């Protein structure tokens, strides 16, 4: 590896975070969410690290599920967005993929399968997010029809929260009440809780958790939270200083000359940029760690390079290690400096960043 931009992935941390999720509700099962390449961490290595403990994995679509199977993962895999074409249902049967079902017309596609197909279906309710799912007033009828089909082995009831990351927002309470009312006459396993609900809404735990972000060690909240504080960062994004220069006061740095030195300044140029997935809109002042010491980005993030302030770090030289987020710098803090969320910081890293694994 010549260019030193890289992401260290700590598989032990992911396993510990999974255990933290399970410990929130010891009687619940959990589907570990590894969609979008395990939020940028590498779907197959993450699933391999979790397979001994996780009962099942969750992905967005069948292509992601096939990647896991090709990687040797044997556990059931839930397609959170369901199938996009009815033909995919046959693969679900053959490869033990569970499919979400979000619209009534999809029941007809299942009814057209051979009897005894043995399909597991997660019946999704739109309990208030208004993105995907069957309306509460139609849900029981959909369940009755689906569960009576000879093609269906099991139906799991599911819904998704819009605002669970805000523990003061009553939207989650309302969604929960809507779900409970609409399913009062149904006896089937229930899955509602993403990471913020797993850590902060015990009433939403039910039978099967669906933790995603928390597995990777980022907090799902915008504020401090005692359980989220126990998460271990799984990804550390690193690179190194490739050039150093001194500039006089009044000189500007980078595209659009958006940052101007107020005093004589030492500027380090680091091999990292938006071509690696680091957000271009990270502001001047976004923290970085340089050889373990805190400093910040100055000037615009460009495609392949980022400039940082070394003025108060006289020991920093070409070759100094720069951490953009991870073990010593919270991805949540950095995300907020780029007006984004930790989900995108990790998921948007491009294939140009090699992932280097530690842990089992």
Ligand X SMILES: Cc1ncc(COP(=O)(O)O)c(C=O)c1O
* Residues of the shown chain interacting with ligand X in the complex, contacts defined by CB under 6 A: 33, 80, 160, 194-195, 210-214, 220
Counting Cα atoms < 13 Å in the Cβ hemisphere of 346 gives 32
Which residue of this chain has its Cβ atom nearest to ligand X in the complex?
A: 212
Beta carbon of residue 32, minimum distance to ligand X (angstroms, whole number): 10
Contacts of 326 (CB under 8 A, 6+ apart): 8, 233, 235, 236, 237, 238
Backbone angles phi, psi at 23, to 5 degrees: -70, -20
From the list 18, 143, 230, 255, the catalytic residue is 255
> Which CA distances in Å does 257 have to 81, 250, 285, 333?
44, 11, 15, 25
Q: Is the CB of 212 or the CB of 268 nearer to ligand X? A: 212
Cβ atoms of residues 235 and 217 within 8 Å: yes
Q: Is the CB of 217 or the CB of 220 nearer to ligand X? A: 220
Which pair of tokens denotes residue 274? 């938006």
Q: Is the CB of 200 or the CB of 211 nearer to ligand X? A: 211
Beta carbon of residue 211, minimum distance to ligand X (angstroms, whole number): 5
From the list 35, 124, 139, 221, the catalytic residue is 35
Q: Is the CB of 194 or the CB of 307 nearer to ligand X? A: 194
Q: Is the CB of 61 or the CB of 296 nearer to ligand X? A: 61
- By DSSP bridging, strand 235-247 and strand 6-10 are antiparallel
Contacts of 184 (CB under 8 A, 6+ apart): none
Residue bearing tokens 């140029």? 269
Beta carbon of residue 352, minimum distance to ligand X (angstroms, whole number): 24
Residues 191, 123: Cα–Cα separation, whole Å: 10
Note the helical H segments in the chain.
11-24, 35-39, 43-50, 62-70, 88-95, 105-111, 136-147, 171-182, 195-200, 331-337, 342-347
Which pair of tokens denotes residue 160? 């998704």
Beta carbon of residue 100, minimum distance to ligand X (angstroms, whole number): 7
Q: Is the CB of 1 or the CB of 229 nearer to ligand X? A: 229
Beta carbon of residue 31, minimum distance to ligand X (angstroms, whole number): 8
Whether 255 sits among the annotated catalytic residues: the reply is yes
Beta carbon of residue 350, minimum distance to ligand X (angstroms, whole number): 20
Of 161, 79, 138, nearest to 146 (Cα)? 138
Q: Where in the sequence numbering do the catalytic residues fall?
A: 35, 255
């Amino acid at each position: 590896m010549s260019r030193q931009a890289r992401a260290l992935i700590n598989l032990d941390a992911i396993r510990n975070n999974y255990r933290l999720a399970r410990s929130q509700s010891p009687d619940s099962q959990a589907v570990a969410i590894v969609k979008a390449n395990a939020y940028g961490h590498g779907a197959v290595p993450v699933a391999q690290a979790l397979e001994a403990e996780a009962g099942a994995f969750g992905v967005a679509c069948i292509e992601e599920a096939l990647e896991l199977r090709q990687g040797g993962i044997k556990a059931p895999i839930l397609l959170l967005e369901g199938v996009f074409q009815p033909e995919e249902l046959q693969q679900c049967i053959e490869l033990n993929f569970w499919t979400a079902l979000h619209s009534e017309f999809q029941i007809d596609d299942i009814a057209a399968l051979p009897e005894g197909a043995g399909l597991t279906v997660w019946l999704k309710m739109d309990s208030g997010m208004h993105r995907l799912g069957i309306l509460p007033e139609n849900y029981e009828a959909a369940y009755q029809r689906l569960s009576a089909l000879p093609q269906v082995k099991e139906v799991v009831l599911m819904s998704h929260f819009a605002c669970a990351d805000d523990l003061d927002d009553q939207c989650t309470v309302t969604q929960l009440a809507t779900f409970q009312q609409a399913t009062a006459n149904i006896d089937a396993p229930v899955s509602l809780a993403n990471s913020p609900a797993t850590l902060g809404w015990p009433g939403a735990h039910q039978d099967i958790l669906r933790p995603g972000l928390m597995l990777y060690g980022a907090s799902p909240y915008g504020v401090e939270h005692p359980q989220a504080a126990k998460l271990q960062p799984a990804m550390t994004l690193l690179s190194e200083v490739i050039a150093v220069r001194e500039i006089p006061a009044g000189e500007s740095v980078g595209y659009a000359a958006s940052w101007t030195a107020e005093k004589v300044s030492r500027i380090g140029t680091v091999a990292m940029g938006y071509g690696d997935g680091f957000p271009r809109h990270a502001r001047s002042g976004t923290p970085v760690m340089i050889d373990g010491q805190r400093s910040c980005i100055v000037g615009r993030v460009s495609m392949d390079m980022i400039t940082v302030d070394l003025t108060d770090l006289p020991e920093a030289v070409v070759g100094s290690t720069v951490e953009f987020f991870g073990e010593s710098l919270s991805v949540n803090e950095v995300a907020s400096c780029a007006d984004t969320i930790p989900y995108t910081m990790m998921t948007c890293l491009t294939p140009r960043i090699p992932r280097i694994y530690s842990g089992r």
